[in-house]
Amino acid sequence: MNKDLLKKRYKKEKRFILIGRIAVSLTIIFLVILLGSILLRGISGFYTTNISLKTNLLEEIIDPAQNKNADEIFKASWRKVSRTAIYNILDDYNDSKNIEKSTRKEKRDFIRLFSRSSEFYVRDYTLKNINNIGEVVTINVPASSLVDQYLKGKIDINLDESNRPISDAQISWINFMVEKKMIEKKFNVSFFSNGDSRNSEEAGILGAMVGSFLALMVTIIAAFPLGVMSAIYLEEFAPKNKFTNLIEVNINNLAAVPSIVFGLLGLAIFLNFFGLPRSSPLAGGLVLALMTLPTIIISSRVAIKSVPPSIREAAMGVGASKMQSVFHHVMPLAIPGILTGTIIGMARALGETAPLLMMGMVAFIVDVPQSITDPSTVLPAQIFLWSDQPERGFEEKTASATIILLGFLLTMNALAVFLRYKYERKW
């Protein structure tokens, strides 16, 4: 054989392998950059800043009737109680700096260091510890997003005062509170227990998580049996003729239809024709089911097709009916593949936003949905909403929510891989 030719061939192979390696490395680099930047920005969102507030639970404001009736206590002027406690800190600061009295503007700026929901924390604390009324207690209230962002180093303090959201006075107040050990960084429980909010320090993801969960439940209940049954029928029972070929082609086409089109379809059918409640996980889940159905049918058919015909023949040979051969022998072997396909379809549905835009699931909804007919939003829609907010604190929330979404997606895909390896049978 020609020696040069051989050399050339080896060179070609080497070149090909090199290109392949470059391509794979590029992919990995991009993935690392993507995940890294999201993690870097989002991890801090799982922590939040709390301020311990020494509060005097004055009986004459909270419970003037002195009967410890929870309903009446609930209606007390909590703003007055919390404001008093907050101004006390400002007074302490003034004492330490020998400042006579704060101006109204200074007071207003100081209040802004505390979350607007502080008074509710004071209220809830009191309602839980009703016997402490009349005493001075220490209550942890959330700091405002401004303090949180400043302490996390997300605000550039080298800028001129007029160009940054935080004033010099506010910085020195924060530093005073840090010195007095009134400020602590804590795991952000409210991020996982709250619905959406206009205050970034109060905004949580629970509403979106529950919404996603409910919508996916609707999707799986609607799409899984329908998809698997269609796949079994088409693969095992349907005659092979032009009509079934047409159906097959169209199912494949359906899988490639842009998801927004499914949204339009859902809007026309589920909302306008059937009158399902707008923004509800029921309507959203049904649209996602339409979208996932072709994926489930196709992957189920592949799984059923990959069961060797010898198994069917063996079953037929001992006199099993068609149905028995399918359900006793083919399905147990096809189920892992079907589940894998379904989970991957579900993961896609979890990350889908466009069709849900059409169903009104991109809305500001504070309450955590209780049922599939309550208005709710879903994780990707929540991310979309937060990314649109001008307030600085939401940038962090956006990244944190993305981490949660990616976490769910990775878990689902890992489950699919696990099922495939665990139950895969070889012949």
Partner 1 sequence: MLNNEPKIIVSDLNVFYGNKQAIFDINMSINSKEVTAFIGPSGCGKSTLLRCFNRMNDLIDICKITGNIKLDDLEVYNKKIDIVRLRTRVGMVFQKPNPFPKSIYDNVAYGPKIHGMCKDIPELDAIVEKSLRSAGLWDEIKDRLHEPGTSISGGQQQRLCIARAIATNPEVILMDEPCSALDPIATAKIEELIDELKSKYTIVVVTHNMHQAARISQRTAFFHLGKLIEFDETDKIFTSPSEQKTNDYITGRYG
Q: Using CB under 8 A, list all residues that contact partner 1.
A: 239-240, 308, 310-321, 324, 328-329, 332-333, 425, 427
- Choose between 86 and 315: whose C-beta lies nearer to partner 1: 315
d(CA 392, CA 292): 36
- What is the C-alpha to C-alpha distance for residues 203 and 343, in angstroms, rounded to an integer? 30
**Helix (H/G/I), strand (E/B), else coil: 63:** coil
Residue 26 to residue 32: CA distance in whole angstroms: 10
Q: Which is nearer to partner 1, 101 or 422 (CB)?
A: 422
Q: How far is the CB of 324 from partner 1 (least distance, A)?
A: 6
Give the ranges where 98-205 is alpha helix by DSSP (H).
104-111, 118-128, 145-151, 168-179, 189-193
Cβ at position 331, least distance to partner 1 in Å: 12
Smallest distance from the beta carbon of 422 to partner 1, in angstroms? 14
Q: In terms of CB distance, is 422 or 425 closer to partner 1? A: 425
Q: Which is nearer to partner 1, 37 or 321 (CB)?
A: 321
Q: How far is the CB of 128 from partner 1 (least distance, A)?
A: 58
Owner of token pair 């939003």: 377
Whole-angstrom distance, CA of residue 90 vs CA of residue 84: 10
Of 36 and 317, nearer to partner 1 (C-beta) is 317
Neighbours of 105 (CB within 10 A): 10
- Other C-beta atoms closer than 10 Å to the C-beta of 320 total 16
Cβ atoms within 10 A of the Cβ of 154, count?
15
> Minimal distance in Å, beta carbon 317 to partner 1?
4
CB contact at 8 A, 346 and 291 = no
Q: Which long-range contacts (CB under 8 A, 24 or more apart) does 177-183 make?
A: 177/51, 177/89, 177/113, 178/151, 180/92, 182/51, 182/52, 182/53, 182/89, 183/49, 183/50, 183/51, 183/52, 183/143, 183/147, 183/151
Closest separation between CB of residue 329 and partner 1, Å?
6
Single-letter amino acid code for the residue at 409: L
Please say which residue, 153 or 239, places its beta carbon nearer to partner 1.
239
Short-list 76, 74, 78, 84, CA closest to 54: 84
Which residue lies nearer to partner 1 by CB, 185 or 305?
A: 305
CB of 318 to partner 1, least distance (A): 4
Choice between 202 and 236, CB closer to partner 1: 236
Which of 326/358 has CB closer to partner 1?
A: 326
Contact 56, 84 (CB under 8 A): yes
Q: What is the Cα–Cα distance from 141 to 51, expressed in whole angstroms?
A: 5
- Nearest approach, Cβ of 235 to partner 1 (angstroms)? 13
Q: How far is the CB of 423 from partner 1 (least distance, A)?
A: 11
| Minimum distance from residue 387 beta carbon to partner 1 (Å) | 50
Q: Which is nearer to partner 1, 209 or 315 (CB)?
A: 315
Residue 13 to residues 17, 20, 24, 272, 416, Cα–Cα distance (Å):
6, 11, 17, 59, 34
Closest CA to 167 of 118, 232, 103, 72: 103
Interacting residues of 151 by C-beta distance below 8 A, sequence separation 6+: 49, 174, 178, 183, 185
